[in-house]
Structures are given as C-alpha cells and as structure tokens.
Amino acid sequence: MQCVLVLANGASWESAALGALQRSRDFVVLKRCVDIADLMASATTGQADHAVVALDTPGLDRIATEHVRRFRVRLVGVNAASAGREGDSIHEVAQWATRLGFASVVGVGEVDRLPTVLAADDTSAHLDAEPPAHIEHSVDPGTSAGAGRVIAVWGPAGAPGRTTVAIGLTAALARRRLRTVLLDADPWGGSVAQQLGVLDEVSGLLAAARLHGTGSLSERFGGVCRGLEEFAGVVTGLPRPDRWQEVRPGVIEEVLCLARGVGTVVVDTGFSLEQDGTVELSGRSGRNTMTIEAVANADVVVVVAHPDPVGLTRLANGLTELDEISPGSPRIVVLNRMRQTLGWSAGEVVAMTKGLIGPSVRAVLVLPEDRRAVDAAVAGGRFVADGPLVKALANVADALVPESAAGAGRTLRRRTAGRAHQR
C-alpha cells in the first residue's frame, strides 16, 4: 500500500481523484494538503510515496518540487484547461511541469487513471532526486524532529561581520548539499543582496510583508525566496533602511516557519536587541522587532564579535541582552577577523572569551581576517570561494550541523560575477 498526498487547490477534480485512488486498493490518501507549504511540510515526514498536485497551485515552483522530490515523493501533475501562467497552452504547462520534475501529467478528465499512472511512475526510473537533506539529523537544541533548523546570526554594534558570517555559513551548508535559505532580517539596512550580486529590485522581505498582510504568504512563499545556488535560496532584505516599518510584527516569524519547510535557515540580523515598549500596545513594529523575532525563533544563535577588547566587552554585554530575549537558548560564539596584529593568539583569545561567557554558549570558534577572499567575493557578487576563511567557516558549520561534516567538500558551481540570479 502506497501513500499519496493530494493538493487540488480547491479544484473539482479532487473528489474523482480521491474516489479512483480509494477504489484501487493499492493507494491510500495520506493527506489532502491545503497549499504548497502544507505539501512541502507533509513530504518531510517521509511517509508519502506520491503527490498529486494541481499545476495551477499558487507558489508551485522548482524550490517546492525539488524539496518534495528530495523526500522521495514522486510528483504527478493535474493539468486543468486554464492551468499555469496566463496565456500558456496545456502543452506548454505540461512541459513546464516536466522541467519542474513532475514524473507524469494527466488532464482533469483523466484523473480516473491516476492509480495506473502512479503505479507506472513507481516502476519507472525517473527518480533522480537526492536523498533527503540531513535537516532532521542536525544538532538538536529542541525543535520538533524533521523540521528545518533556524540559525540566527547576531552580533553587537561595530559591524563584527554578521552578514559575512551568515553568507559564508549559507555557502558552507549548501556546499554540503543541505538545502539552505538565507534570510536578510537586518532592520538597519540589509546588505545580503548587494553582497551576493542579486540585482533585482524586488525585496523578498517586503514582498513577504505584503503577502503576510493579505494572508497569502504561505501560498506564495516560493516567489519570495529566490534560488541562488543548487542548494541555496535567499529572501533579500530591506532595499532602504527606512522601510523597516513595513515589516509588521509576525512577518519574520511566518517567513521562518515557511523557510523551515524548505531546509536549514540562516538569518542575518541587526545589531540591536533593544525592545520598544509600545510595540505590544500599538501592534506596530519597533525598529528591532525583526532582529528580536529572528533571535527568539532561532534554534541556535551564532554570536559574532570582534576579538579585541572593545569587541569582547560588547560580546559580554550582548550575551546578557540575549538572555532576556531567549533565556538559555543555545549559542555559538564566533570571533571574527582574528589577526596577528591584535597581539594575542587564537588560543589566548578563546580562553579569555570562555571566561566571559555563561554555560549556554556551546563553543567559541575563531574566523581569520581574510581580506583577499572577502573582497573577491563582494566584488564578484558571490560566495567566498576559498582560502582560510572558508576553511574556518567549515568548522562553524560542523559545530552547527555535525552530521553534515562527512558530506563536506563538494564544490559549488561558481556564480557569474554581477549576474542577476533567476531560478
């Protein structure tokens, strides 16, 4: 007996499809999904063998289909007469579905044949998807099994390298074939898009904020999160710092929830955790609401600091502030831009830091100053490709997702400098 997920998007063919599957006795309908996010989350349980999906479902895109296929769920599309993007013929929609990884496509009048089609898919060799991402095996500071992990990258004032570390960590995880979503949630001016050469003018975060407002974010999350590399996607941040007010309370929380369904989530945040006392009364965002929501919803916080006297003092104060927002939540401290001219060794600075911090910090790791690699990456609009920083970032990835360490080493396709990245 094989299990089937059905996502009919409210179409009238659903009852005929359910009837045909029930009659066949070879298939059982595991769940009728309400939207793409529901389908993606249901696939991660590992119980489904097939998904029957309406091809006109909002948010149906490659990220969604790749996610589902990685959990070894075979996709069958149902092609309604008006399916797909406006103006497309049924034939074009079927071709589009094949490109997305659908094993078969049936017309709405053919859903009676679904058991035969599913059985044929089962024996065909179309399933070239990778085994499921190792999300469910990663360090477990307490989320429900199988869900994606949220890693918030935070650090106090002084530009200690939050964005550099968040991008570098995303690259390190994607290099390990872990599906990773990078979210730019810095309310003081996001720079992820610029650093990665994502040139489009649509901010993923502002789009998410608008969709959150209309209650349709879950349906259209695929359009908010754009593909970067084979295993990495990005939700770009604020195009201008003054637009932080458009991101209402609850937006970051919903984006994180949806991104968890895609894979591991890395969040770049702002420096300040100061709470605005009027937020709860007014229902409006405070300036730091984005950062606070990211940190409060994270499974682990990577705290980035400069390994110098000012940086370490700010680190100690920052950890106290973090305690107020997420008491006892797991943390990893990353001392970034370590260099000989500071006058102390990496071992000495780690020992000093350990004396400053409490038991919720699991590890203290050091990243070297690597001007050459960082400059080349920023100038080329791509991930840091090689050098000491990449090697040290791998240690941070090991600490966060130890089970992925064995799979490390696969190189990412280099991205073309300055290119706008479209899925």
Ligand X SMILES: Nc1ncnc2c1ncn2[C@@H]1O[C@H](COP(=O)(O)OP(=O)(O)OP(=O)(O)O)[C@@H](O)[C@H]1O
Q: Indicate if the alpha-carbon torsion angle 346, 351, 353, 358 is positive or negative.
A: positive
- Smallest separation (angstroms) from Mg ion to the CB of 228: 17
Q: Is 370 in the site for ligand X (CB under 6 A)?
A: yes
**What residue is closest to Mg ion based on CB?**
163
What's the CA gap between 291 and 267, in Å, rounded?
A: 9
Q: Which stretch binds ligand X (CB under 6 A): 152-160, 233-241, 321-329, 399-407?
A: 152-160
Q: Is residue 163 within the footprint of ligand X (CB under 6 A)? A: yes
> Which range of residues in 26-34, 159-167, 205-213, 243-251 is near Mg ion by CB under 5 A?
159-167
Question: Position of tokens 């991205």?
Answer: 415
- Measured between alpha carbons, how far is residue 286 from residues 248, 283, 298 in Å? 9, 9, 19
Stretch that binds ligand X, among 123-131, 159-167, 226-234, 319-327 (CB under 6 A): 159-167
Output the smallest distance, CB 307 to ligand X, in A.
Answer: 11
Beta bridge partners of residue 53, listed in sequence order: 7, 77
- Binder among 41, 52, 301, 374 for ligand X (CB under 6 A): 374
Report the DSSP beta bridge partners of residue 75: 51
Instruction: State the binding string over 380-409 for ligand X (x if CB under 6 A, else -).
Output: ---------x--------------------
Q: Does 186 bind ligand X (CB under 6 A)?
A: yes
SS3 19: helix
Contact call for residue 291 and ligand X (CB under 6 A): no
Is the separation of the CB atoms in 367 and 392 below 8 Å? yes
**Residue count (the chain):** 423
Q: Decide: helix, strand or coil at residue 3.
A: strand
- Per CB under 6 A, the list member of 159, 279, 296, 408 interacting with ligand X is 159
Structure-token match 């000093």, residue found: 352
Sign of the torsion formed by the C-alpha atoms of 236, 239, 241 and 244? negative
Specify which residues 354 forms β-bridges with.
Answer: none
Q: Does 271 bind ligand X (CB under 6 A)?
A: yes
Under the binding rule (CB under 6 A), the answer on residue 154 touching ligand X is no
Give yes or no for residue 236 binding ligand X (CB under 6 A): no
Strand-strand pairing, 226-229 and 232-235? antiparallel
Q: Which does 164 bind (CB under 5 to 8 A by kind): ligand X, Mg ion, none?
A: ligand X
CA distance 48 to 331: 35
Q: E strand or H helix at 374, and its extent?
A: helix 371-380
Comparing CB distances to ligand X, the nearer of 38 and 369 is 369
State in angstroms the smallest separation of the CB of 192 from Mg ion.
8
The SS3 of residue 55 is coil
Q: Does 289 bind Mg ion (CB under 5 A)?
A: no
- Range in contact with Mg ion (rule: CB under 5 A) among 4-12, 147-155, 156-164, 331-339: 156-164
Give the Cα-Cα-Cα angle 312, 405, 349 (nearest 5 degrees): 20
Q: How far is the CB of 273 from ligand X (least distance, A)?
A: 14
β-bridge partners, 333: 303, 364
Residue 162 within binding range of ligand X, rule CB under 6 A: yes
Task: Give the CA distances from residue 7 to residues 11, 42, 77, 215, 414, in Å, rounded to whole numbers and listed in that order.
Answer: 9, 11, 10, 19, 36
Measured distance CA(272)–CA(158) in Å, rounded: 11
Side chain identity, residue 250: G
* Binding test (CB under 6 A) with ligand X, winner from 164, 285, 291, 404: 164
Task: Mark residues 115-154: x for contact with Mg ion by CB under 5 A, - for none.
Answer: ----------------------------------------
Binding partner of 337, given Mg ion, ligand X, none, CB within 5-8 angstroms per partner class? ligand X
Binding segment toward ligand X, per CB under 6 A, in 130-138, 220-228, 290-298, 370-378: 370-378
| Binder of ligand X out of 6, 367, 394, 400 (CB under 6 A) | 367
> Is 235:166 a contact under the CB 8 Å cutoff?
no
Single residue of 77, 101, 132, 155 touching ligand X by CB under 6 A: 155
**Interface pick for Mg ion out of 57, 104, 163, 329 (rule CB under 5 A):** 163
Q: How far apart are CA 252 and CA 224, in angstroms?
A: 13
**Number of residues binding to ligand X, judged by CB under 6 A:** 18
How far is residue 226's CA from residue 231's CA, in Å, rounded to a whole number? 11
Give which of Mg ion, ligand X, none residue 150 binds (C-beta under 5 to 8 Å, depending on kind).
Answer: none
Write out the residues near ligand X by the rule CB under 6 A.
155, 159-164, 186, 191, 271, 336-337, 367, 369-371, 374, 389
Write out the residues near Mg ion by the rule CB under 5 A.
162-163
